[in-house]
């Protein structure tokens, strides 16, 4: 087993830093079990790093950090059942390409593919599509190493309650070693980007979200402009990735936006003008490719983010209130607001638990003051019974969160049974999980 020399760790956005005693890279279940047993005997604590793409303190720990980068890959593919057993550390990009070579695909994905499968599912990572659940709903079976160092397999038919808890558990129940995913035959998507008026979109929102398999939009604050993104299954041949497309994605969208963002960081009062310039330059176009190659986009400009899940029926009203608040407070923000839709599920701590949902995400360029803006938006999200994305910034603690989740008590009961000594807890998780923790 390798141990990294680095004595410090930081997440993607730089919002979390820690100085662990050790960062270990096990490459087998047996090695994971032996770390767990040793740390339990030492009464120490363990947190697992996925790819560090959560914005919150979920991973931070000054004792033992485990990375599963050396434990990646697809172990078994059942083409008849469209299922695959995947090692927990496997990055989504590798997973997508391996599945494609076997004629299979994930039914939906978020907008990047650098996360590990266990990291993504542990926080309820989602894409968009009102008939499609979060990535966690794709799990048919989870294998955990518990605080006793034992291997526990759970599914709809085996340890069902633990399964419903473990599908979104932020690493609080144990170390996920494998997931069996329910997949679909590989498919191609036609991706259409259009510039649309925000009010026109809100007036026709039901049509947009039900007439497209995947619909989302980016709204540029201080403007009435959105970029609408519509993805639908197609039999058309993939479009060749042109030099022009690369130039557009990497240079124009990421490069120019980085320069404009730096300008806003140095002169925050320019944010409104920059939002208007960005809205004016919204890119439109079409792309066709296999699904896993379409969902993900490069994210070279770093930011902080808050994202909330609201019942889908409140989408229009909440967005209108956000607009009023941004205009009234003249918030210095140029990053677009992202709006997506997700089907409800039955996972105990899934923000989409028992409700079809709209997810609304607000962003601020790294290095710019975000708290005033995020606080104002969170007040609106709370009013509509909003549940925060577990991997993104929010201010909620256990006493409030316990009121938002009907199965909160059951989840905590299972957590106490599986990890009575808090081997898998850190200070941040304690605030989320333990009332007055």
Ligand X SMILES: Cc1cc2nc3c(=O)[nH]c(=O)nc-3n(C[C@H](O)[C@H](O)[C@H](O)COP(=O)(O)OP(=O)(O)OC[C@H]3O[C@@H](n4cnc5c(N)ncnc54)[C@H](O)[C@@H]3O)c2cc1C
Nearer to ligand X, 132 or 176 (CB): 176
Shortest Cβ 307–ligand X spacing (Å) = 7
DSSP 353: B
Shortest Cβ 66–ligand X spacing (Å) = 8
Give how far Cα 409 sits from Cα of 117, 165, 398, 414, 433, Å. 26, 11, 11, 9, 10
Nearer to ligand X, 135 or 319 (CB): 135
Q: Please count the CA atoms within 13 angstroms of the CA of 161 that sit on its side-chain side.
A: 11
- Give the other-Cβ count within 10 Å of 285's Cβ: 12
Nearer to ligand X, 90 or 223 (CB): 90
Shortest Cβ 54–ligand X spacing (Å) = 3
Nearer to ligand X, 272 or 386 (CB): 386
Identify which of 9, 157, 214, 182 has the alpha carbon closest to the alpha carbon of residue 82: 182
Shortest Cβ 299–ligand X spacing (Å) = 4
Shortest Cβ 171–ligand X spacing (Å) = 3
**Axis-axis angle for helices 257-266, 271-280 (nearest 10):** 170
Nearer to ligand X, 125 or 146 (CB): 125
CA–CA separation, 417 and 211 (whole Å)? 45
The site for ligand X (CB under 6 A) is made up of 12, 47-54, 58-59, 68, 88, 110-112, 115-116, 118-120, 122-123, 125-126, 170-171, 175-176, 299, 389, 391
Nearer to ligand X, 20 or 391 (CB): 391
CA–CA separation, 356 and 342 (whole Å)? 6
CA–CA separation, 240 and 281 (whole Å)? 24
Shortest Cβ 328–ligand X spacing (Å) = 29
CA–CA separation, 346 and 131 (whole Å)? 14
Structure tokens at 362: 């607000």
User: Beta 357-365 vs 387-388: how paired, if at all?
Assistant: unpaired
């Amino acid at each position: 087993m390798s141990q990294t020399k680095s004595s410090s760790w930081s997440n993607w956005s730089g919002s979390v830093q820690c100085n662990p005693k050790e960062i270990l890279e096990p490459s087998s279940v047996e090695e994971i079990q032996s770390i767990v047993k040793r740390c339990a005997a030492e009464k120490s604590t363990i947190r697992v790093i996925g790819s560090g793409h959560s914005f919150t303190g979920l991973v931070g720990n000054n004792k033992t950090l485990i990375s599963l980068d050396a434990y990646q890959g697809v172990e078994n593919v059942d083409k008849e059942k469209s299922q695959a057993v995947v090692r927990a550390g496997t990055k989504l990009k590798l997973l997508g390409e391996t599945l494609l070579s076997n004629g299979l695909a994930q039914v939906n994905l978020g907008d990047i593919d650098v996360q590990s499968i266990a990291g993504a599912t542990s926080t309820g990572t989602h894409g968009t599509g009102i008939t499609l659940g979060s990535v966690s709903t794709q799990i048919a079976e989870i294998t955990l190493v518990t605080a006793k160092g034992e291997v526990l397999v759970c599914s709809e038919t085996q340890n069902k309650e633990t399964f419903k808890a473990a599908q979104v558990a932020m690493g609080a129940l144990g170390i996920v070693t494998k997931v069996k995913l329910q997949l679909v035959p590989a498919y191609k998507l036609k991706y259409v980007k259009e510039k649309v008026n925000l009010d026109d979109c809100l007036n026709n929102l039901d049509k947009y979200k039900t007439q497209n398999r995947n619909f989302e939009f980016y709204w540029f604050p201080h403007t009435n402009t959105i970029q609408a993104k519509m993805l639908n299954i197609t039999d058309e041949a993939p479009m060749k990735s042109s030099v022009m497309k690369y130039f557009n994605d990497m240079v124009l969208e990421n490069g120019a936006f980085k320069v404009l963002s730096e300008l806003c960081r140095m002169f925050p009062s320019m944010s409104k003008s920059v939002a208007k310039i960005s809205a004016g330059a919204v890119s439109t176009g079409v792309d066709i490719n296999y699904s896993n190659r379409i969902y993900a986009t490069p994210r070279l400009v770093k930011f902080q983010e808050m994202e909330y899940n609201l019942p889908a029926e409140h989408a229009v009203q909440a967005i209108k209130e956000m607009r009023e608040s941004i205009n009234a407070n003249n918030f210095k923000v140029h990053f677009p607001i992202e709006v997506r839709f997700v089907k409800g599920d039955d996972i105990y701590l899934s923000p989409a638990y028992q409700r079809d949902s709209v997810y609304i995400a607000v962003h601020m360029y790294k290095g710019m003051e975000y708290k005033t803006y995020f606080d104002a938006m969170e007040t609106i999200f709370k009013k509509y019974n909003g549940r925060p994305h577990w991997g993104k910034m929010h201010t909620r603690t256990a006493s409030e969160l316990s009121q938002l989740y009907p199965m909160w008590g059951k989840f905590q009961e299972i957590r106490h049974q599986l990890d009575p000594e808090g081997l898998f807890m850190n200070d941040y998780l304690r605030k989320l999980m333990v009332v007055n923790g």
